[in-house]
Structure 1
Amino acid sequence: MRFRHTMLFLGHELGILRRNVAWPLFGIMQPILYLLLFAPLLTSITPGGTLKEALVVFTPAALVMIALFGSMFAGFGMINETRNGVLERLAVSQAWRPAIILGRVVKDMVMLVLQSLIVLGVATLMGLRISLPAMGLMLLLMAAAALFAANLSYGLALAVRDENGMSQIVQFFLMPLMLLSGLMLPISLGPEWMQTAAKFNPLYYAVEAGRALFAGDFSDGTIPVAFGLFLVLGVLTLTWSVRSLRKLAG
């Protein structure tokens, strides 16, 4: 029954997504533009000075950028549903309450993986060459990142219930999270204090794990740390968002 309820909500969310295909496509334009216009600038800091090496460095960052700028804004639609009473009616219905959140989160995970495939396709056309195991693990890592980011966004939406307030909170944290993750440039190029601060940013481990995977270094320690960290954070934020939904239902 719980699985069925989750699939019903997932089907509903995918139906909404099919009627608004343009928005996910707009969501990947920024990472693609960065690939096209920023990645070539990194050739000067790669050992061989080639675009292929620069893509190995920057493509994982472009993928994490989708999770950061896409999934983190997923909760804005939920605020409108809360204001209109839609979410409250669902919360007091016979449906399994976690399914209301899980259906949305699974949709966000699927969407992020599909967007990641498009970005990887563009990077491949530009000269990126990685193994299929590396690509598969990176897509799984992106799904885990979406699990965390989407749940965090839904939890914030249920706690704040105001678009302006939530926008200010998200924007306040986006910039330091982006800079301290090494999205634009490897954090190893920064001062020691910045490298230390980055260790407290979960996105840093996703970027570093992605770069290790794309370089073929499957033994890098950041890979299991990134997966473990995002799975734990995903469960914690899911618990928070479900509890917030139960409070909404009274």
Structure 2
Amino acid sequence: MLRHTALFFGHELRTVLRNPAWALIGIMQPVLYLLLFAPLLTTTTRGGTMGEALRMFTPGAMMMIALFGSLFTGFAMINETRNGVLERLAVSQAWRPAIILGRVLKDMLVLACQALLVMGVAVLMGLRLSLAAALLMLLLMAATGLFAASLSYGLALAIRDENGLSQIVQFFALPLTLLAGMLLPVSLGPQWMQTVARFNPLYYAVEAGRSLFAERLTDSTIPVAFAVFFVLGALTLTWSVRSLRKLAG
């Protein structure tokens, strides 16, 4: 079990290392938002400083990677399904869950590395962050990647069409971004928006990230966010593994 998972994880990771351009391109959007949008938020924070604006905005910028990066990981699986590669792997002697687990672990690692780079840019811009808060934030990003990547693979195995997957992701991308408070806190919006936002998993991750960046390490939003994403990650991972088994007949 562990050996097969490690083999698939190593294979997927070597694929990323051979062509790291896509992983680096994935952080360009949040970095540009940090550079161009975060300075505009200084007047909306209590202290009115760049550091306060970065503490509010950086967690949302990091969640953009999970939304626009991890949710698109299923496209490669659709191509492998069409070419028959995935079916041959599914009927082989390999432990079937390892086929999905190896990919998801790779996506979690890539997402955490991307998040580390974004935090580095924010620190250069004036963000001050403790080591404990940074490590918890990276762990939260990995939990977010577990959910987003597993969901993407489940959708890919269910739809098996790039256009269909792209339309679904694009359709939900904007509402998820706004209702998570990635650009501006949802608390600035009307009451109905604050109520609807609680049905968006990314909302809890952004709120927990802001608590971490504000050094409120005992805030209740942090364990809630971890619980939400570990539960959703387990459910979507189970769904994608079952979809793979159906593919193998």
Normalising by structure 1, what TM-score?
A: 0.99
| Counterpart for residue 139 of structure 2 | 140
Within 2, Cα distance between the matches of 1:18 and 1:176? 33
Within 1, Cα distance between the matches of 2:43 and 2:136? 28
| Counterpart for residue 51 of structure 1 | 50
Equivalent residue of 1:17, what SS? Answer: helix
Residue 178 of structure 1, CA deviation? 0.7
Within 1, Cα distance between the matches of 2:148 and 2:170? 14
| Counterpart for residue 240 of structure 1 | 239
C-alpha deviations, 1:186-230, integer Å up to 9, x for none?
000000000000011110000000000110112221111100000
| Counterpart for residue 174 of structure 1 | 173
| Counterpart for residue 77 of structure 1 | 76
Within 2, Cα distance between the matches of 1:32 and 1:172? 23
Supply the AA of the counterpart residue of 1:81. E
Within 2, Cα distance between the matches of 1:28 and 1:213? 21
Supply the AA of the counterpart residue of 2:123. T
Supply the AA of the counterpart residue of 2:36. L
**Match status 1:184 vs 2:191:** no
**Match status 1:25 vs 2:24:** yes
| Counterpart for residue 9 of structure 1 | 8
Within 1, Cα distance between the matches of 2:237 and 2:231? 10
| Counterpart for residue 37 of structure 1 | 36
| Sequence identity (%) | 75
Equivalent residue of 1:218, what SS? Answer: coil
Supply the AA of the counterpart residue of 2:167. Q
Within 2, Cα distance between the matches of 1:70 and 1:157? 15
Supply the AA of the counterpart residue of 1:44. T
Residue 143 of structure 1, CA deviation? 0.2
| Counterpart for residue 149 of structure 1 | 148
C-alpha deviations, 1:133-175, integer Å up to 9, x for none?
0001000000000000000000000000000001001111111
Supply the AA of the counterpart residue of 1:80. N
Supply the AA of the counterpart residue of 1:163. E
**Match status 1:230 vs 2:233:** no
Q: Residues 61-100 of structure 1: matches in 2 within 5 Å?
A: 61-100=60-99
| Counterpart for residue 128 of structure 1 | 127
Within 2, Cα distance between the matches of 1:220 and 1:189? 20
Supply the AA of the counterpart residue of 2:209. G
Supply the AA of the counterpart residue of 1:32. V
Structure 2: any 5+ residue segments left out of the alignment?
none
| Counterpart for residue 202 of structure 2 | 203
Within 2, Cα distance between the matches of 1:197 and 1:220? 22
Supply the AA of the counterpart residue of 2:90. A
